[in-house]
Amino acid sequence: MHSIVQRILSETPKNQSFQWLGDFVRSIDIDALTWAGDVPALDSEGNYTRNILCMEPFECVLIHWPPGAQSAIHHHRGFWGYVLCLEGEVENVEYGYSPGGARNGKDGRAVLTELQSCRAGRGGILNEPDGVIHKIVNASSSKPLLTLHFYSPALVNLDTMVLFDEQKLLLAELNEKAQTASFNQASSCFRRFETDAFDFVPLQAQFGFKTHRFYPLFPKPQAAEIRELVATYYCEQAEVYDAKDAESALRVQYTEGVNRLIAGRIAKVRPDKVLDIACGTGRRALAVRELTGLSYSIDGIDISVSMVEQARDRGVEARIGSWGDCSVDRGDYDAITLMYAFGHFSSRAERKQALSQAFMCLKAGGLFIFDAFNVEDPDEWGPAASQMYDTLDLGDHGYERGDVFYRKHAGDGVAFLHYCEASELNALLTEVGFILESVQHIGYGKNTGEVVEDGGKLLLFARRPD
């Protein structure tokens, strides 16, 4: 830690900015740091503990979090900074606050609204702009967390910092005696308390986030880790996935509409053998075959062990594996489908590899059909994903525009999707050697399952040249 302090003293300009501080934190090589002798002992009451390394020209503080510990929701006013994760996993949850008189509160009451959350592992960086309302959480229930915080201007004390308790609907203001942004300290550390102070709106109660939430990971994990996250996510849901689909009218209308379009095109090919990439439980590949009225054989591949077992029970010749890593006979298939899963490929390079492998596995003149999430669909997450790319500076963390990590409100698993542009997909198909026959826009939030002029999801029909 001594080297960090020396850099702060020697490199900080007189009028450092939020951007400059971010660049400074991103330049830190944590593999070159040692901190064993600087870690503060944990508080006997289970609160987090701080070791202030320097206060000028800005504050640098090492914080030790016991398993499961978290700060209170607190308001940054008049200062800003960054958090660098040294050990463990740190979760950051952000909120919005509307004071009394807000129209969305009951009888003009104040409203605290949960906005978004993200997680950083070793080397990940979180930003804390001036005015943010948030809480920091040790995401592990069994392992401690170490974070290095940088604040400008330095916090001489926590006097006047406002805290929120979303469960007890409690608002409190700290005084100069407070040691942490936490309710877990003596009452003498508080200037005032307000009970029943606001209404709380959790994220799942808001439009567009009824079942899922964005959950950015910093830095963006490598491809192998993302594949493992996706596999775990779908294994977690394998036993109920089809049933949950059936409960969603939008999903049923969309899949049935797309299945009919795919079946109509495959029927013209009259294939002997079809491969379904990311086959899941095999339900959709079999539904498409039934719609064609044909009896071709179906092979499948999926990364979820549980889903592959279900597909096999239904008669699909399914194997367990990742499409990019599996061994499939080249030139063996009359048609290949990839339904609702193209967005799980985590980078442009991986998407190109997936398309290239599909190209090689098709016979000459073979058909490739896939759908993709559209970054420009106003009724889906695409525009929000694009906005989040800018507001959270996701490019600095290895993201591509349109990348989204997400999780169910009721689940622990985190999955990944990439929202695509039609031009991006056209370029990739051309680079691989496909002839793009058509791109259709399929409504989801509106005109669900129908071909529309724009918006919706993208359904692409491509062909390997004869």
Predicted confidence (pLDDT) per residue in 369-388, tens digit: 999 999 999 988 899 899 99
Q: What is the per-residue pLDDT for 89?
A: 94
Q: What is the per-residue pLDDT for 277?
A: 97
Mean pLDDT of 319-337: 86
pLDDT classification of 104: cutoffs 50, 70, 90: low
Residues in the chain: 466
Looking at the chain, the whole-number percentage of residues with pLDDT higher than 70 is 96
Q: What is the per-residue pLDDT for 221?
A: 95
Which comes out higher in pLDDT, residue 439 or 117?
439
Predicted confidence (pLDDT) per residue in 245-293, tens digit: 788 888 899 999 999 999 999 999 999 999 999 999 999 999 999 999 9
Q: What is the per-residue pLDDT for 411?
A: 66
Summary mean pLDDT of the chain: 92
Pull the structure tokens for residue 59. 């504050």
Q: What is the per-residue pLDDT for 205?
A: 63
Other C-beta atoms lying within 10 Å of the C-beta of residue 167: 6
Q: In what order do the strands lie in the sheet with 212-214?
A: 212-214, 403-408, 414-418
Whether residue 173 contacts residue 192, with contact meaning beta carbons closer than 8 Å, is answered with: yes
Predicted confidence (pLDDT) per residue in 199-222, tens digit: 999 876 664 556 778 899 999 999
pLDDT classification of 310: cutoffs 50, 70, 90: very high
What would you report as the CA-atom Rg of the chain, rounded to the nearest whole angstrom? 26
CA distance 394 to 396: 5
Mean pLDDT of 321-332: 80
Q: Are strands 333-338 and 273-277 parallel, antiparallel or unpaired?
A: parallel
CA distance 158 to 153: 12
Whether residue 458 contacts residue 441, with contact meaning beta carbons closer than 8 Å, is answered with: yes
E-strand spans in 385-464? 403-408, 414-418, 435-442, 451-452, 457-463
b/e per residue 113-133 (b: at least 16 CB within 10 A): bbbbbbbbbebbbbbbeeebb
CA-nearest of 406, 430, 417 to 340 is 417
pLDDT classification of 8: cutoffs 50, 70, 90: very high
C-alpha distances (whole Å) from 21 to each of 51, 130, 167 are 20, 13, 34
Q: What is the per-residue pLDDT for 101?
A: 65
- Look at residue 103 and tell me whether its pLDDT is greater than 60: no
Whether residue 418 contacts residue 336, with contact meaning beta carbons closer than 8 Å, is answered with: no
Phi, then psi, of 328 in degrees rounded to 5? -130, 140
pLDDT classification of 102: cutoffs 50, 70, 90: very low
End-to-end CA gap in the chain? 63
Q: What is the per-residue pLDDT for 237?
A: 79
Q: For the ranges 370-379, 406-415, 444-453, which has the lowest average pLDDT?
A: 406-415
Domains and CATH numbers, the chain: 2-201 (2.60.120.10), 223-463 (3.40.50.150)
Predicted confidence (pLDDT) per residue in 182-202, tens digit: 999 999 999 999 999 999 998
Which comes out higher in pLDDT, residue 104 or 344?
344
Residue type (1 letter), 442: I
Which comes out higher in pLDDT, residue 444 or 74?
74
* pTM across the whole model: 0.83
Burial (Cβ within 10 Å: 0-12, 13-18, ≥19) of residue 87: middle
